[in-house]
Amino acid sequence: MTSTRPPEAPSERPPRGRASSVRARGEELYLEIERRRPEHVSIEVAFRWFTRDKEIAGGVLGGGMAYRFFFWIMALAVLAAGGLGFASSSGADVTAEAQNAGLADALASTVATAASQSESGRWWLLLSGAFLVLWFSYGLLRALRLVHAAAWRVAAPPVRRVVRALAAVVAAPVAILAVTGAAAWVRLNASRPVGFLVTLSLCLLFALAWLWISTKLPAALDVDWTAFLPGAALFAVGLEALHLFTVYYLQTKLANASELYGVLGLATTALFYFFLIGRGVVWAAEVNAVVWEVRSERREAASTPARS
């Protein structure tokens, strides 16, 4: 009597085989996208953007920008501490004023503590803070110029009108901080829909501010102001996303961070935040350069008559 064996279940593909299959599909997809590059502007821009970021070491440049932003903020904090020392010595209620400005209770009490501790050395803090703000503002200006020169593949020209450039570097972030503080006050004192709409409207402000800043930084010679629109839109959306994340999630975490992790936790969070902003600066410059190059090449190709 012949025994019949049940059919064996198909054996599963070994992990190495699955990895090879996934790699092969990835290579096929890459080749297909590579083939479609001349047909689609978006694909061409994405490829060149990725390549440009690798060529100029965008991650390293973003870290350098984070370093500049962090020390600029620290210099501004020293200057503000000197001013708070004068305010505290004059008898002003620093805690109440900070709360009225839209700061959280924990941050307002921190500001009041800094003000009371700065009374004795307020002149020293004010003078050293002013010097440090100018010093790190110049470093931030040089970093911005070098990043944009690298993204556009041009040589950074010497800075003209240094005083005006430093004033712009100092005034632009302070103005943005003031406007975001005003938006925070509206958000705390108005109804939720109004506060949310005001917070979203900051995206337009960020775009206009970065558009103006980008036009003052190194770029190709034949560009007009419209070449900086893609980077301004990208930077504004990213900064607005960070702002919303900070307002509706990170603010409550930071209020308790000093108790849980100490100053090191706050510094780490701030550095990560500034790194994201620095990467946004690099990406915005790269997008402007790449989009302009692709559009220029396609305009030239369209205007050149085809050879028979």
In whole angstroms, give the CA distance from residue 100 to residue 98: 5
Higher pLDDT, 288 or 303: 288
Which pLDDT does position 107 carry in this prediction?
A: 45
- 224-268 pLDDT, tens digit each: 899 999 999 999 999 888 877 776 666 666 555 555 555 666 677
Higher pLDDT, 3 or 22: 22
Closest CA to 145 of 81, 84, 213, 93: 213
In whole angstroms, give the CA distance from residue 154 to residue 288: 13
Alpha-carbon distances, residue 136 vs 71, 87, 171, 183, 217 (angstroms):
7, 25, 13, 27, 18
The answer on pLDDT for 108 being more than 90 is no
Q: Which of 35-49, 52-66, 125-139 has the lowest mean pLDDT?
A: 35-49
- 186-216 pLDDT, tens digit each: 777 777 777 778 777 888 888 998 999 999 9
**41-55 helix and 15-35 helix, angle to the nearest 10 degrees:** 110
Q: In this structure, which amino acid lies at residue 158?
A: P
In degrees, to the nearest 5, what angle opens at C-alpha 98 toward C-alphas 96 and 102? 110
Q: Kindly tell me the sign of the dihedral angle through the C-alpha atoms of 171, 172, 177, 179.
A: positive
229 contacts 287 by C-beta, under 8 angstroms:
no
Q: In this structure, which amino acid lies at residue 269?
A: T
In whole angstroms, give the CA distance from residue 284 to residue 220: 15
In whole angstroms, give the CA distance from residue 210 to residue 217: 11
- Report the predicted TM-score, pTM, of the whole model to 2 decimal places: 0.76
282 contacts 61 by C-beta, under 8 angstroms:
yes
